[in-house]
Amino acid sequence: MTDTGPRVPDAGGDGDRGGSGDDAAPDDGTVALPCGETVHRSAFDLGMREYECACGERHAVVMDMHPPSRFVPEAVVDVLRETVSVGEDDAFEAFGTPHLMGSVLEEFPDDVTVVDATDDGRVGYAMLWATAFDARTLHEHVVELVVELMEHAVSHARDDAARGDFEEQMLDFDVAEFVERYRRNRDWRDEYDAPA
Ligand SMILES: [Zn+2]
């Protein structure tokens, strides 16, 4: 490890990093999901968290305007904004949902479809991510990645005491339990999640 700080991959804004393989398809507005099903991108509305697919699975759906507090508390988001540097030519200046999903895409390249609808005025989102797994599983993966980002940030901190404290806290941290509690305490019917 020779890198100097935490960073996340770019958000895949040019649409050529999707895990679905066939990138040369003409843009007819359809989306190839990781499971192989094809749907039109207007099938996703802004309040959607999961897509009930014809394959029988529920796929997590995330859009660029969903706040990262969908997954972790605002206080954690603030820490990430302060410690994680985003790419210089990044379309999204502040650390946010696109960066979280960029990390998920890097970790699970075959399980994430990225849709760039920036030039499509008919849908209400610019970026959309659909995953092979359901919203709860995605939530757990995101929290695991956030913990890694935080660990990386803390490992570069000069303050040994802070580092020790954090590592100790992380020993007791149960991702599944955190996700369970977080999801129970949020109002998922709201189109735009307000901070908890
Ligand atoms: Zn499916």
Query: 17-39, pLDDT tens digit by residue?
Result: 444 444 555 578 899 999 999 99
Amino acid found at 73: P
The pair of structure tokens assigned to 47 is: 């309040």
d(CA 194, CA 95): 17
> How many angstroms separate the alpha carbon of residue 53 from the centre of ligand 1?
4
DSSP state of 86: P
Q: pLDDT by residue (tens digit) across 149-187?
A: 888 877 777 777 877 887 888 878 899 999 999 998 875
- Going from the Cα of 85 to the center of ligand 1, the distance in angstroms, rounded, reads 34
Cβ-contact 103, 8 below 8 angstroms: yes
Domain coordinates of the chain in residue numbers?
A: 30-185
Q: What is the pTM of this model?
A: 0.79
Between the CA of 35 and the centroid of ligand 1 the distance, in Å, is: 5
Distance 117 CA to ligand 1 centre (A): 20
